[in-house]
Structure 1
Amino acid sequence: MTPHPSPPADPAPAPTAAVSPAAAHLDERVVGGRARVVVASDRAAAGRYADRSGPLLADGLRALGYAVEVVVVPDGPPVAAALRDALAAGLDLVLTSGGTGVSRTDRTPEATAPLLDRPLPGIAEAIRARGARSVPTAALSRGLAGVAGSTLVVNVAGSPGAARDALAVLGPLLPHTLAQLRPAPAPAPAPAPVPAPAAAADEPPDADPSPAAEPAGAAAGCGGGGALAWAEARVAAHAAARPLPPVDVPVGRAAGGALAAPLAARTALPAYDTSSVDGYAVRGPGPWRPVGRVLAGQRPEPLVADGTAAEVATGAMLPAGSTAVIRVEEVTRRGDRIHGTPRPAGAPVPEWRPAGAEAAAGAELLPAGTVVTPAVAGLAAACGYDRLPLRRAPRLALRVFGDELRTAGPAGDGRLRDALGPALPALLRALGGAVADPPPPIADTLDAHVAALRGALADADVVCTTGGTMRGPADHLHPALAALGARYVVDTVAVRPGYPMLLARVGDRFVVGLPGNPQSAVIAALTLVGPLLAGLAGRPLPALAAVRAGVALGGRGADTHLALVRVAGGGAEPVPYVGSAMLRGLALADGYAVIAPGGGAAAGDEVPYLPLPPAPPPEYGAADRAAGNAVASGSGVVIAAVGAAPLDPAAHEAAVRHPAAGAVAGFAGVVRDHDGGRAVVGLEYEAHPDAAAVLAGIAAEVAADPAVRAVAVSHRVGPLAVGEVALCAAVSSAHRGPAFAAVAHLVELVKERLPVWKRQRFADGTQEWVNCA
């Protein structure tokens, strides 16, 4: 990335920082502390098994700001030795993984017990109880927890599920527990003061970080509870979520989703002994008499006698009784016999793949929560899946508060241009949510706030609001939450910028209050919305990366400071314009360096790094469609878009017109008022994040027909009323026959492939999700 020039009059840039790839080797100045994960496994220690639980625990701790290393040892006495080494190193936290069960080799609790000064049975019981909710055998874990000197030691069962359960239990407990165990630090010289941006209107000054008192009349359980540490707030947001119900999706449309259940091999991989070359499968010593031929897709007859062979193609199933495969170029034929030299026993055998070489039938290939990449989709198909259970994308609603906001034109006359309404939807989509553009700003009255929240909560899993998170005379969010009976999960966070953020639960839905200043709002979204959406999708808490400071970086007193930095040329550069009300610095930055409370970072120090998420892929043709223009000049794919804007069939037909096209065929799919004999009052479409790319591919496939001149197709998302157009398609061709056929084919492909889900609302008050386009 080329550095952006700044005019001489710009504010002085922040100190430089350089990225380090060694995110796991932070020093003791990290947000959390120093930790070690000890994996107890004979197989993993011998290299026969790739352990997943230890890395999962390590990633979870790094997400909390801990410097973590992983060691793998065999079961039994080596575990005790590894624990003694960890305690001698003076670490803050030691987690063991494995060896807690009831088999004879499970001896981790026995190795741990003699080292503990004070047991903490409540932690071990909480981990067991959480696991037993979904896996009854979790109750068999004999894991212990306790304090050894000033180190917290916790035994965790050796499975990915147990690791996730342990992280969910430990996350909220660790900051307080380890703070109690650490000796009081010796007084240190105060760091040189670093000028900081003045506090913005929605951010109280550093000198008074305590939240204002809860307004009189607030609902029980909705009062402010004091600012949480930044790392604790991330954990609390993630732990508050329960994974959403799964949706069943065709495997070819699953890329981008998260697995709702582990992916297990339904057959061995490969399912049968398979030839990797063109050649001959032979039985016994040669020479061999060919008795058949096997192509890929055929079931062969067995080789029943020594000295026989079958010609095989690459990918063909090997006949039962085969003892070797010889490449065709290594075979000579003499009369009715073939001659060659099979590879000796024990040598690498690249000519064939034995059944189960990649995975045995029933083996767990990937854990729940894994994001489905194209490779994962291919793996699922290879082992027998036609459909995959995915966590649906959480539905988000965005509501912008403020009488002072304009939605068009420049600021003036005391009114500001709303910047968050256009900016936040893309950020929320990049964090994993399905969100439509917000309605106009909500008036600064309590009644308007309550009505806006109540309406948004009827359809959304999470409602994000902007502004009003303080407790001033025009700040109505807290009273509105009280009126709705909300209960806080997080009420203010000790971070600068972004202090007055909040997360509240209303029934089984959530409200995230983002401050009104742009940078504070972005920090709040990364701190609370990102972890919350990960929890709803069944994914682990996102881990932090690390950056290395090029010069000293100052903090913000007792609060965590998120310092905007830009990554370029292998390092990180500071950006100017970093006040919480400023957008220019955000536009230049790649992420935030996380400066721990109470100090700063010296040159060369590694500190946690929170990247800004990349922009989601653009909706093909969306910008031109929104402007009423065609993407191209009447040929090829001129429109292919998924969005919340109303659809105009006439505009689609006009977009595909061309002087060479004698026929234009169009289709409009309209919301009807009934389905299956039931009265429909409205519906809502929700799209997978890859829906726009899928639709563009469908349109390109139809446009590739030589008889087709141009294609335009769009699909709505969000709430639709009866009579509104949900799907719009148009195709032009030289003649009417190809035009009619192509538009019909286009609509069928959309219904078959487009990853869109429909929720119908019926007149009797019930509703139904349908997995269709």
Structure 2
Amino acid sequence: MSSTLRVGVLTTYNATLSVSDTASQDPAADTSGPSLCRLVEAEPRYIVEVTACIPDDHKAIQKTVTAWCDDLDLHLVLTTGGTGFGVRDCTPEAVLPLLDRQTPGISHLIFAKSIQITPFAALSRAVSGIRGQTLILTFPGSPKAVKENFEAVAKMLPHAIDLARGGTGKKTHEKMQGGPRPSGTTPAAVEEKGQTESSHSHGHEHGHGHGHGGHTCFHHSDREARTDAASLGLGTPVSRRLRKSPYPLIPMDQALSSVMDRVVPLPSVQKPVDGLLIGAVLDEDVVAVEAVPGYRASILDGYAVIDTDGPGQYPVTAVSIAAASSDGSATTLLPGQIARITTGGALPDGATAVVMVEDTLLVKSSEDGTREETVEILAKVRKGEAIREIGSDIQVGQTVLKKGQVISAVGGEIGVLASIGVQKVLVRQRPVVGFLSTGNEVVNHDNGEALKMGQIRDSNRPTLIAATKAAGFDYFDLGIAPDSPEDLEAAIKGGLAKCDIVVTTGGVSMGEMDLLKPILEQKLGATIHFGRIMMKPGKPTTFATVPNPNGGQPRLMFALPGNPVSATVTFHLFVLPALRKLAGYETYMWPSVQAAVAHDVRLDERPEYQRAVVSVTPEGSIKVQSTDKNQMSSRMVSMLGANSLMVLPGRTAERDSISTGQKIECLLISNLG
């Protein structure tokens, strides 16, 4: 790799900030861009080759970044601005689709450094990743934040760029570590001396895995542990366990963004048009190549007539029933003639209307009584009456279904596809989710044996599997794994090999047998994106990405709390939306309504998701009522009858309750009663 690292610095501005889009017209108004340039060029080997200052425009950002990566082949592209919550902040949305691989470890490092300085770092939605051989980082728009973010990663960027361009990183790594590690010096020995290893040291000792969707893959022997993990080693005695979680407590919106930013819809496949298509998401527009109907057809049983003939007695010269013509031709109706016709029958050439059989009288039949010879028309009809013209339902070339449309169970989509002769359609693959319960005390609910002291029946797997089936997704039941590192590792690996998402329940808190986080970090090479959320219930909910054992996009891993309500609520809040986004749903989050509470509600110090019932009153107003006064996370009866989750804010000095009649946001997780 070249000793000089060529860098591009792109500044975008949000009109809601003190510096508006005018900065793109007057580069002198930009302060964060020049500040970032100075920081870059103060580092050895870096040179700023190109800069730009543009307004917050999705296409403009993509065009600039794409050109710098693909045409200029820059080593590093840095953006500043557009990563916040403002309505026009769109840099992450513009950059993310351009990435071949994401680099969540870099994003996490920046966030971890920034959150130590200010809680406002949680309001940044920055992303990072690799396009081709170019590393791309998105920074906030303030000079102070830019400085903090860049300094957090400046020293390791040459190493990252070297790896992204196919290098081994050996020289860079040795330089960062102060030379090669002496022979026989193990990570454990270093830790024993109280030293802290670089987060990259194990990656180099056991090989790089920088080809797994942007996530570092560490290759270890079964007994070896990573030293860059936040959790303590699996062999740490209980007397030395942590008394406080090393994972920062993050707000709910940040946790949701962390999940959804890493969910990439699955590829597309051709599927036959049948009942198994229900729930699939189209990945193409469907255009009709056949008209419906394909011929002029009668809407009812009666007589095809020429409307200008009017009422009177007419000979019946032909019969048309709903069947294919043997020679593909149609009869011709002349003035003064009528033809008997059934619903769906093809109109004779020359016919301009159909008279229903109720508006006629039989005048004369054949001698054997089997045929109508003369019929009197009693009613005057208009031209085109009771006729389905060719293409009146669907015309050739008409787009009948749009890309992104979900094939519903109602049957309309399948009916339309069948009516125009479509045999296969391109749809997104449906994700598969695996469910694993953990714990020595957990037994199958249907084992037929009386519970022993300390045992509990597993309600989590049956509950989450039922919700998954109702949502239309496929699943694997991975059973129950005891609190054993070997058993847990094997069970999770088995799930990762065949599932897009693995969901575990239990083992994520601070107990001595809570092993999920250390196993993910130390045995599976996972990146834990969050391990605690400021919410109730579900505080220890954990989300990680794990290298895909089959290659391709990393697997998603949700380690949910063991308490049944916590598991169920967090499943609805995180896992089902992730499944829908994986499946290609354009709208994947739960719908919400504002409802008036039917009773006073006391607020908790954490934002809370109370189980509730939303209903519509006879007067048309929307009200909500808690399912149960006792909303403990272990009390599954609080889920009985729930069709919504009340989104309650955290308690403050100014507000400790919601009064009867006040409106609150409710997420609708089921149909209204």
TM-score of the pair, normalised by structure 2: 0.55
How do 1:649-668 residues align onto structure 2 when only pairs under 5 Å count?
none
Contact 2:290/2:396, CA 8 A, preserved across alignment:
yes
User: Secondary structure of the residue that 2:611 maps to in structure 1?
Assistant: strand
Distance 1:361 1:490, change over 3 A: farther
The answer to whether structure 1 residue 556 and structure 2 residue 585 are counterparts is: no
Identity %: 22
How far the C-alpha of 1:522 sits from its partner, in A, is: 0.9
How do 1:418-497 residues align onto structure 2 when only pairs under 5 Å count?
418-439=458-479, 441-470=480-509, 473-482=512-521, 483-488=523-528, 490-497=530-537
One-letter code of the match for 1:526?
Answer: H
Contact 1:395/1:462, CA 8 A, preserved across alignment:
yes
User: Secondary structure of the residue that 1:496 maps to in structure 2?
Assistant: coil
User: Secondary structure of the residue that 1:456 maps to in structure 2?
Assistant: helix
Contact 2:503/2:559, CA 8 A, preserved across alignment:
yes
How far the C-alpha of 1:295 sits from its partner, in A, is: 0.9
Which position in structure 1 is the counterpart of 2:227? Answer: 217
Aligned pair partner of 1:230 in 249, 252, 255: 252
Which position in structure 1 is the counterpart of 2:566? Answer: 520
Which position in structure 2 is the counterpart of 1:501? Answer: 541
Cα separation, 1, equivalents of 2:590 and 2:385: 39
The structure, 1 or 2, with the larger RCO (C-alpha pairs under 8 Å, 6+ apart) is 1
How far the C-alpha of 1:338 sits from its partner, in A, is: 6.0
Which position in structure 1 is the counterpart of 2:634? Answer: 581
The answer to whether structure 1 residue 343 and structure 2 residue 381 are counterparts is: yes
Cα separation, 1, equivalents of 2:64 and 2:491: 38
How far the C-alpha of 1:592 sits from its partner, in A, is: 1.7
When the two chains are superposed, the root-mean-square deviation of aligned CA atoms in Å is: 4.5
How far the C-alpha of 1:514 sits from its partner, in A, is: 0.7
How far the C-alpha of 1:458 sits from its partner, in A, is: 1.1
Cα separation, 2, equivalents of 1:433 and 1:253: 11
Which position in structure 1 is the counterpart of 2:416? Answer: 379
How do 1:194-205 residues align onto structure 2 when only pairs under 5 Å count?
none
How far the C-alpha of 1:260 sits from its partner, in A, is: 4.7
1:582-622 superposed Cα distances (whole Å, 9 cap, x missing partner): 223223644321123565544323323234558xxxxxxxx
The answer to whether structure 1 residue 276 and structure 2 residue 328 are counterparts is: no
1:212-260 superposed Cα distances (whole Å, 9 cap, x missing partner): xx99723699998745543454455345131354352342443454445
Which position in structure 1 is the counterpart of 2:341? Answer: 312
The answer to whether structure 1 residue 152 and structure 2 residue 105 are counterparts is: no
Contact 1:227/1:493, CA 8 A, preserved across alignment:
yes
Which position in structure 2 is the counterpart of 1:750? Answer: none
Which position in structure 1 is the counterpart of 2:440? Answer: 403
Cα separation, 2, equivalents of 1:227 and 1:555: 19
Distance 1:510 1:340, change over 3 A: same
User: Secondary structure of the residue that 1:365 maps to in structure 2?
Assistant: strand
How far the C-alpha of 1:424 sits from its partner, in A, is: 2.9
One-letter code of the match for 1:467?
Answer: G
How far the C-alpha of 1:464 sits from its partner, in A, is: 0.8
The answer to whether structure 1 residue 544 and structure 2 residue 591 are counterparts is: yes
User: Secondary structure of the residue that 1:532 maps to in structure 2?
Assistant: helix
Cα separation, 1, equivalents of 2:56 and 2:614: 45
Distance 1:126 1:322, change over 3 A: farther
Contact 1:303/1:309, CA 8 A, preserved across alignment:
no
How far the C-alpha of 1:523 sits from its partner, in A, is: 1.4
The answer to whether structure 1 residue 292 and structure 2 residue 227 are counterparts is: no
One-letter code of the match for 1:323?
Answer: T
Which position in structure 1 is the counterpart of 2:399? Answer: 364
Cα separation, 2, equivalents of 1:303 and 1:224: 86
Provide structure 2 residue ranges, at least 5 long, that are not aligned to the other structure: 1-14, 17-52, 66-80, 98-106, 108-120, 126-139, 142-198, 200-224, 233-244, 364-372, 618-622
One-letter code of the match for 1:327?
Answer: M
Contact 1:502/1:514, CA 8 A, preserved across alignment:
yes
Distance 1:379 1:344, change over 3 A: same
Cα separation, 1, equivalents of 2:353 and 2:491: 72
Distance 1:386 1:550, change over 3 A: same
Which position in structure 2 is the counterpart of 1:768? Answer: none
One-letter code of the match for 1:449?
Answer: L
One-letter code of the match for 1:343?
Answer: V
Distance 1:304 1:584, change over 3 A: closer
User: Secondary structure of the residue that 1:534 maps to in structure 2?
Assistant: helix
How far the C-alpha of 1:351 sits from its partner, in A, is: 0.9
Contact 1:218/1:479, CA 8 A, preserved across alignment:
no
User: Secondary structure of the residue that 2:498 maps to in structure 1?
Assistant: coil
One-letter code of the match for 1:376?
Answer: E
The structure with the largest alpha-carbon Rg is 2
246-255 or 266-275, larger mean C-alpha shift = 246-255
Cα separation, 2, equivalents of 1:552 and 1:119: 50
Contact 2:297/2:388, CA 8 A, preserved across alignment:
yes
How far the C-alpha of 1:513 sits from its partner, in A, is: 0.8
Cα separation, 2, equivalents of 1:266 and 1:129: 40
Distance 1:369 1:351, change over 3 A: closer
Cα separation, 2, equivalents of 1:259 and 1:241: 16
How far the C-alpha of 1:393 sits from its partner, in A, is: 4.1
Contact 1:274/1:315, CA 8 A, preserved across alignment:
yes
Cα separation, 2, equivalents of 1:338 and 1:496: 78
The answer to whether structure 1 residue 604 and structure 2 residue 661 are counterparts is: yes
User: Secondary structure of the residue that 1:458 maps to in structure 2?
Assistant: helix
Distance 1:413 1:314, change over 3 A: closer
Contact 1:369/1:537, CA 8 A, preserved across alignment:
no
Contact 1:278/1:313, CA 8 A, preserved across alignment:
yes
How do 1:623-642 residues align onto structure 2 when only pairs under 5 Å count?
none
How far the C-alpha of 1:311 sits from its partner, in A, is: 2.7
One-letter code of the match for 1:324?
Answer: A
1:57-93 superposed Cα distances (whole Å, 9 cap, x missing partner): xxxxxxxxxxxxxxxxxxxxxxxxxxxxxx9xx9xxx
How far the C-alpha of 1:457 sits from its partner, in A, is: 0.9
How far the C-alpha of 1:467 sits from its partner, in A, is: 1.5
Cα separation, 2, equivalents of 1:128 and 1:383: 40
Distance 1:332 1:444, change over 3 A: closer
How far the C-alpha of 1:549 sits from its partner, in A, is: 0.9
Distance 1:266 1:233, change over 3 A: farther
Contact 1:244/1:394, CA 8 A, preserved across alignment:
no
Which position in structure 1 is the counterpart of 2:185? Answer: none
Cα separation, 2, equivalents of 1:381 and 1:274: 19
Distance 1:338 1:126, change over 3 A: farther
Cα separation, 2, equivalents of 1:236 and 1:366: 32
Provide structure 1 residue ranges, at least 5 long, that are not aligned to the other structure: 1-86, 91-117, 131-145, 156-161, 166-171, 182-213, 615-773
Aligned pair partner of 1:591 in 644, 649, 653: 644
How do 1:692-771 residues align onto structure 2 when only pairs under 5 Å count?
none
User: Secondary structure of the residue that 1:526 maps to in structure 2?
Assistant: helix
